[in-house]
Chains A and B, each alone.
Chain A
Amino acid sequence: MAFFRSHVLVCVDPECLAKGAHAMLDALQDELVSQGLIDEIQVLETSRIGSCADGPEMMVYPEGIHYVGVTEDDIPYLVEEHFLKGRVVPKFQKSIVAVVDEELGPAKPKEVRVVLRNCGQIDPENIEDYIAEDGYAALAKVLGDMQPEQVIDEVTRSGLRGRGGAGFSTGKKWQFCRNSAGTPKYIICNADEGDPGAFMNRRVLEGDPHSVLEGMIIAGYAIGANWGYVYCRAEYPLAVRTLNLAIRQARDLGLLGENIMGTNYSFDIEVRQGAGAFVCGEETALIASIEGKRGEPRPRPPFPAVQGVWGKPTNNNNVETYANIPQIILKGADWFASMGTEKSKGTKTFAIGGDVNHTGLIEVPLGITLREVIYDVAGGIKDNKPFKAVQIGGPMGGCLPEKYLDEKIDYESLNAAGAMMGSGGMIIMDDETCMVDIARFFMDFTQDESCGKCTPCRVGTRRILEMLQRICDGEGEPGDIEKLEELCQQVQQNSLCGLGQGAPNPVVSTLKQFRSEYEAHIYEKRCPAKVCRKLIHYSILEGPCTGCTVCARNCPVNAISGERRHLHVIDPDICIRCGICKQVCNFNAVAVS
């Protein structure tokens, strides 16, 4: 094995790629070659290291130095200083402590990383890195010392519940599948993470694929299955590539395939790609899709544990659920159960988005409050604006206003508040967000993604959307709110699958929490947050306008006229209220009313 004096981990998370990580990586390779250092310094690609918010980042070991905001032009200087002269370059340095401390450090004090523990710290394309972090030790323990029933018992005692959103006890689910008659049995990993604003699973698959594979193999052993599928959405090509590579490496080491670790247990995994249908996150639709059919759900029962893929007993869990398994086996059910609340154990990853200071991925123990997550972990609302709502649980979730901020994050509390755990997307909104518009946005999503099999969902979501559209356009009528409530209830109660049953949730929760905004739209034809295009007007203020022409040049419909250095005027008949002029104006001269 070659010996390298130094290892450079470069983040190739989509967010860093967006900021030019590829060009930087190429430049780094070239520079190391031209300086003759390529045999001494190994460059590895990894997933997210820090927040990604500051630009392309890298981690240099053994020093454990974290550089951020490095562009390709900075590479020659950086290589000369750090690798030739051995001097740290403070300009790009983020912190001199090792990644572990940085991720758990004072910046995000309330995090506990179980599922994300390896992400950004190991090379996901190298199985040895995973094994060095106790990887596949849990599998060895299971295959060597434990009976399938003991494995299920351990998982049940840990209190782990499905991380896909519904929160069913994982151990019980395994037990059902084990007890089902019929062979062969199958394991499915649901990696069809379709909620807008959620990317926890992508991160795990790209950063630590082996933890998911190991969890699946253990589940397979416990249930008595010999074949597993990972169903990954088509929008995550890098995750598919990483997984396939990980599977090949595991096969080469005898951790997958025939007679794993020399025992008489055999298990193999295949990755199946989705094709952009949100409903395929629903387990029966996902199974149909694996079978090569249209991804339409079917009524349950029979549950997949009895009749799943190819009509055989099938266990389906989410990526995060499987990623928890090796740790539970290694550290024990009691350790896992020591985190969280009475009914919701362990940790949960959340993707934080929207108007907060630190967007990105976090992992917190269940039972933490929303306020702690938003103000302590995510650093509070951007520009110190007032908090308005947090949308939690994806398109089937709900919007919670300020009075719920001290609510605990666990399955039961969130359901009681009218939201849900979902897969873990959390969008935080400030006072410039219109809740009717948000409800319309989610309805537009679910309406578009409705598979069309059952009428309540197919027609109901469409009608709800049309009503919301009318309200946003200022054409709402008295009585619309009551009609919406009734229709939402119908769709919730009569739809076939979780997508339809959950589709009205954003409307129901915003109606409940932000009813006054709906009323303002309907009765006063006014959008309090100044978002809905047909209810607002843009104008240019005489005082601040310097006549710089920026707004006129950027207007997509040429609605702005005016001489250079003179006041500009917006023609309201041409204006489409896109707000570009307000965004580009450097003098705050564009007003909305």
Chain B
Amino acid sequence: MYNIPPQETPANDPTIIPDQKNIIDQVIAENKDRPGAMMVVLNELQTKIGYISRPMEHYIAKHLNMPVGSVHGVVTFYSFFTTKPRGKHTIKFCMGTACYVGGTPQLIDKAKQLLGIDVGDTTPDGEVTLEVCRCVGACSQAPVVVVDDEVQGRLRPNKFPQVLNKINRPQE
């Protein structure tokens, strides 16, 4: 019943990596008795592991005693949960109204040109992921990008290479 689908490769199955399995077990053990545990567990795992893959969904379902479908339903409902591993660095473009009006689309064009990838994708070397996000609440700094956890505001397309330099990203 909880068999891992054959097409899944070990690369996205942290439950077979001892260190990561320990983290997952610990998160589940700490929270499984709370009412509404699933959101709490998934939030913690998204932060600590970085993604929630299909094998993880199966593992969580088994240990929270829930149908896999319910876990999958929740994981795919919320945009904060990702099913694929992200790059080492994440660049998020704020798509709030002020940033949109202030030039986020132009920034995205520039980023696509420099990195050669689309929004939502990760560079082939696994270094940088491009994402768009909802308003981060720094509207007077529009347009804003969030590089890893750092907010950078008033960004113009011609300054974008500096953002990449900061995370030591060689440009293509």
In the complex, what residues of A have CB within 8 A of residue B136's CB?
Answer: 14, 235
Contact with B along A405-434 (1 / 0, CB 8 A): 000000000000000000001010100010
Binding stretch for chain B, among A191-199, A314-322, A566-574: A191-199
Q: How far is the CA of A273 from the CA of B137 in the complex (A)?
A: 17
In the complex, what residues of A have CB within 8 A of residue B46's CB?
Answer: 275
A536, chain B: closest CB distance, angstroms: 14
In the complex, what residues of B have CB within 8 A of residue A391's CB?
Answer: 97
Please tell me if the beta carbons of B137 and A236 are within 8 angstroms of each other in the complex.
yes
Please tell me if the beta carbons of A15 and B141 are within 8 angstroms of each other in the complex.
yes
Q: How far is the CA of A197 from the CA of B97 in the complex (A)?
A: 6
Interface set, chain A 527-574, CB cutoff 8 A to B? 550, 554, 556-557
Please tell me if the beta carbons of B96 and A197 are within 8 angstroms of each other in the complex.
yes
Q: How far is the CA of A398 from the CA of B148 in the complex (A)?
A: 34
In the complex, what residues of A have CB within 8 A of residue B105's CB?
Answer: 578
Q: How many residues of A contact B (CB 8 A)?
A: 62
Contacts A291-B35, A291-B36, A556-B113; A276 near B79 (Cβ below 8 A): yes
In the complex, what residues of B have CB within 8 A of residue A359's CB?
Answer: 98, 139-140
Q: How far is the CA of A253 from the CA of B36 in the complex (A)?
A: 28
Contacts A272-B40, A295-B78; A353 near B97 (Cβ below 8 A): yes
Kindly state whether residue A496 has any CB partner on chain B within 8 Å: no
Binding stretch for chain A, among B4-12, B22-30, B119-127, B153-161: B153-161
Partner of A294, one of B37, B73, B112, B139: B73
B104, chain A: closest CB distance, angstroms: 10
Partner of B138, one of A18, A277, A291, A438: A18
Please tell me if the beta carbons of A277 and B78 are within 8 angstroms of each other in the complex.
yes
Contacts A427-B98, A451-B77; A275 near B139 (Cβ below 8 A): no
Give A19's nearest chain B residue, CB to CB: B153
Kindly state whether residue A293 has any CB partner on chain B within 8 Å: yes
Please tell me if the beta carbons of A295 and B77 are within 8 angstroms of each other in the complex.
yes
Q: How far is the CA of A583 from the CA of B113 in the complex (A)?
A: 17
Please tell me if the beta carbons of B139 and A197 are within 8 angstroms of each other in the complex.
yes
Kindly state whether residue A100 has any CB partner on chain B within 8 Å: no
Please tell me if the beta carbons of B135 and A195 are within 8 angstroms of each other in the complex.
yes
Known: A293-B70, A433-B101, A583-B158. 10 other contacts (CB 8 A): A15-B141, A18-B144, A197-B98, A197-B135, A272-B36, A278-B134, A291-B35, A353-B98, A427-B97, A584-B158
Subset of 9 A-B contacts with CB under 8 Å: A51-B140, A196-B135, A197-B139, A199-B137, A272-B39, A274-B78, A274-B80, A292-B36, A293-B38
